[in-house]
Each structure stands twice: as structure tokens, then as C-alpha cells.
A and B are shown apart, each in its own frame.
Chain A
């Protein structure tokens, strides 16, 4: 998933840094608008380290094993800190494991970080839905159990889906869309910027096949994120209350 050094032309590598600079500026602007941004830094940093390490967990898969990207989950938990956290994680991977690259750091950060920010906004939508479910309930008149010797049964409200349901659903969407968009961006970059000497038709077929092969992984990442969100909501719900 990480584009290594030497593959992309220089203009794309430099454009990648420009896009990453823009996203970083926007994220930092949003972070500085928080009440006490400094208080969030240790949390974001340790969580960034934890996500970096959590991506080493290998998931068994029919063809062997794979590791998750978790960019959707990073967005879900860290909010606007997600982009800087991903940028740092990718720098560590390039420097410590030579996975990815220094010249392609900008491109890799943009294709991983932008979907993470989108995942954050998608996950926040659950609040709107759970609020719209709750409002009519609150507005409904509360009848006393006993009134003038006659028991009045209140109209049974529709059973609302609990916050756990919404969290899991939006967790799945965030995780799957986070990775899905990254896959699409990486392969679009590879297709549109293949070196001229390559047999374009053959290479494009190979890239399309690879993209399709990623669909089960996208679903798996979505399921993993949904389960992890449910786990966090049960064990440490404050972790999901981003900004």
C-alpha cells in the first residue's frame, strides 16, 4: 500500500508534499482552535504510537496473513490529529523499516491521511442520527403512571437503536471507506503515472486486478474497526469523544 521511493516521477512526489502541506496546515489550524491544544498532544502522540504498533498485528487470511492499515480508525479516534499522526507514522516506517519512502512521504501521507479525515467526519455523523432519534422521544409528553385512579399507558415509542449500534455501523463505514479510498487513490496514482516504457494495457490490467483483490481487505478492515469501536465504547468511551 505504501508507494516506495523511485517509482513515481519527481513532479508527483513534489505535488504530494504540497498536498500534504495543505492538509497538515488545515489540521493544525483546527487543532489550534481547540480549547487547550497542548493538553491533547500527549494523547495524540501516544495514540499515534499505539496505532503504529497496532498495525503490526497480523490478521490470519486465507492466503497467509496481513496487517491492517487502520487509517479509518485513526481518523475516528484522533479527529484532526489524525493527519499529523499518520504523517509521523509514515515517517517512522520509512526511516525505521524502509517501508514507503522519504521522497514519496508526501504522496503516501496524502493518500492515507485525507481518507482518515473523511472517516472522522463520517463517524461524527452518528451523533446527528442518534440525536434525531432521541429528540421526538424527549418531546413526547410524559404521562404519569396513575392519574385520577385511571392508569394511562403511554404510547409506546419506537424502540430506538442504541448508540452502540450507530457506533458500530459508522465504525464499519469509517474503517472500510478509510482504506477503500486510500486503495483507490494509490492505484489511480499508479495508473495515471506509469513510466512511459511500460506495457500500459498489461500493467493497468494488473492494477485493476490488484484493486479488486483489495475488496475483501476493505471489508475486513471495516469489520475490525466496527468491533474495535464497540470494544472502546464499552471499555473506554472517552476515547471516542474526539474534540
Chain B
């Protein structure tokens, strides 16, 4: 069971070559700056910056489209709720339903902001393997407990996902059809979740012993992620300036 997060981590683009620590700070600041935007007049700039960064990262468009499958459900709800139930200026009527100008503007604003932040997040976490990003967070002051938990959870989430797939298949082969909510089905699903937890717990005991044998806990050096070059700081400065501009513009407009 793979989620393809590291699939494009080894591309060669200016974003991929950018030091992970600076990339985390620069793109992170831009993500927050975008949430300050409350006016549609700033949206073209937000879209422009996002498109440029995505193009520079050389990530394929299909990768972004694939990642939009789950959030599209949220967009659908916003699309139904806001343009038809929000506002006072009627643009046109669809039978009993009115399409409002203010609602449409709000829908566009939420959708653009959402897509731009999502795309930046995708660039941020796809430009390097996940463990490199965790190391970068660690070098920025993330607690060692959190960093270790993140690394171990990420390492084993695939394996635990595979346990679940195997157990589900085994249940189906034995005739389980969980299509109705009744006591029998619920108890089977409880056993499935419980077995998953017990297997993971037993695995964690083995993992801990293996880690101890390899010297875990003796010393916890902060791994140097990548030496920052002047170009990295220059890029970081440019992103921070851009982020501050969006924040100021978001407050003013």
C-alpha cells in the first residue's frame, strides 16, 4: 500500500535543489500568507505564484489532479452551499434556486485559496523524501520525541496498511460481507481493528529490541540535512518578502 508521496522526490528542479530547511520555511510562510487573503482581487496573484512554483518544481499535472480526488468532495459541498444560499444580489434564477453574486464570489475565493494552499503543500512535501523533511523540521527545533515518532510511524504505516489489506481479504474470503450494521458485523469489525492494534503492538516490541541493538538512545545527533548555500537564503528571502506582501495586501484589501 503506497501513497506515492516520494514518487517525484528525486526530480532535478530548482525547488528540489533548494535546501529542505529553507524550503520548509519559505513555502510554509507562503501557505500562511495565503490564508490572509480575503479578496478576489488578490486571487490572480495567488494563482500566479502557485502556478509558477508548480511549473518550476517540474511536478507533472497528473500528480496534482490525482491528489484532488478526495478534496473535490469538499469543493462540491462548498459549490452547492455558497452560490445558492449566500448573498442578496441575484445573478440569475434556476427554477426555485437563485444564484447569488456574493455567494459565487465567496465560492471562488474559498476554492482558489484552498487549491493554492493544497498545491504549495504538495510541492513542499513532494520535493524531497519525507524523512528528509522530518530531519529538516528536527534541525528547525522539532522535539526529538516527535521527530522519532514521525519517522517510525511513516516507516511502518505502509506495513500496517498491508496488514489491514491482508486481513480484509481473509475476511472476505471467509464470507464476511460488511454491508449491514448489526451486532455480528460490528463485532467482526471490532476484532479486525483489535487484531490490527495487537499485531502493531507486538511488532513495536520487536522494533524496539532491534533499535536497542543498533544503539538507539545512546546519542541523538541532529543530522545535517544539507548545507545551505547563499542561493538558498536568497530564495528564502524572496519567498518571505512575497509572503509578507500577501499578508499586508490581505489586511489592506
Using an 8 Å CB-CB cutoff, how does the interface string of A100-120 with B read, 1 for contact, 0 for none? 011100000000000000000
Q: Do B208 and A197 have beta carbons less than 8 Å apart?
A: no
How many Å from the CB of B175 to the closest CB on chain A?
16
Q: Can you give 7 contacting A-B residue pairs, CB < 8 Å? A: A7-B114, A49-B156, A54-B164, A97-B70, A101-B121, A198-B106, A228-B197
Using an 8 Å CB-CB cutoff, how does the interface string of A197-220 with B read, 1 for contact, 0 for none? 111001100100000000000000
| Interface residue A189 (Cβ < 8 Å from any Cβ of B) | no
Q: Do A54 and B190 have beta carbons less than 8 Å apart?
A: no
Using an 8 Å CB-CB cutoff, how does the interface string of A5-30 with B read, 1 for contact, 0 for none? 11111100110000000001000100
| Interface residue A143 (Cβ < 8 Å from any Cβ of B) | no
Query: Which of A45, A51, A85 interacts with B148 by CB under 8 Å?
Result: A45
A17 to B38, CA, bound (A): 20
| Interface residue A77 (Cβ < 8 Å from any Cβ of B) | yes
Nearest CB in chain A to that of B33: its residue:
A10
Residues of B within 8 A of A206 (CB): 81
Q: Do A85 and B149 have beta carbons less than 8 Å apart?
A: yes
Q: Do A13 and B71 have beta carbons less than 8 Å apart?
A: no
Interface size class of B (residues with CB under 8 A): 35 or more
| Interface residue A44 (Cβ < 8 Å from any Cβ of B) | yes
* Those 10 A-B pairs whose CB atoms lie nearest each other, nearest first: A6-B114, A45-B152, A50-B200, A6-B113, A46-B204, A5-B117, A231-B194, A42-B208, A49-B157, A227-B190
Binding site for A on B (CB under 8 A): 3, 5, 28, 31-32, 34-36, 38, 67-68, 70-71, 74, 81-82, 85-87, 102-103, 105-106, 110-114, 117-118, 121-122, 124-125, 130, 143, 145-146, 148-154, 156-157, 159-161, 163-164, 178-181, 185-187, 189-194, 196-201, 203-205, 207-208, 211, 216-217, 247, 250
A239 to B197, CA, bound (A): 9
Interface residues in A166-221 by Cβ distance below 8 A to B read 195, 197-199, 202-203, 206
Determine which residue in A5, A9, A46, A103 has the highest number of CB atoms from chain B within 10 A of its CB, and name it. Answer: A46
Residues of A within 8 A of B28 (CB): 102
A37 to B144, CA, bound (A): 11
A-B Cβ contacts below 8 A, count: 218
Residues A57 and B189 in contact in the complex (CB < 8 Å), given A6-B110, A45-B149: yes
Q: Do A56 and B204 have beta carbons less than 8 Å apart?
A: no
Residues A46 and B74 in contact in the complex (CB < 8 Å), given A5-B114, A57-B192, A103-B31: no
How many Å from the CB of B34 to the closest CB on chain A?
8
Residues of B within 8 A of A228 (CB): 190, 193-194, 197
Nearest CB in chain A to that of B200: its residue:
A50
Binding site for B on A (CB under 8 A): 4-10, 13-14, 24, 28, 31-32, 37-39, 41-54, 56-62, 77, 81, 84-85, 87-89, 91-92, 94-99, 101-103, 195, 197-199, 202-203, 206, 223-224, 227-228, 231-232, 235-236, 239
Q: Do B161 and A53 have beta carbons less than 8 Å apart?
A: yes
Residues of A within 8 A of B121 (CB): 5, 94-95, 98, 101-102
Nearest CB in chain B to that of A77: its residue:
B197
Q: Do A4 and B71 have beta carbons less than 8 Å apart?
A: yes
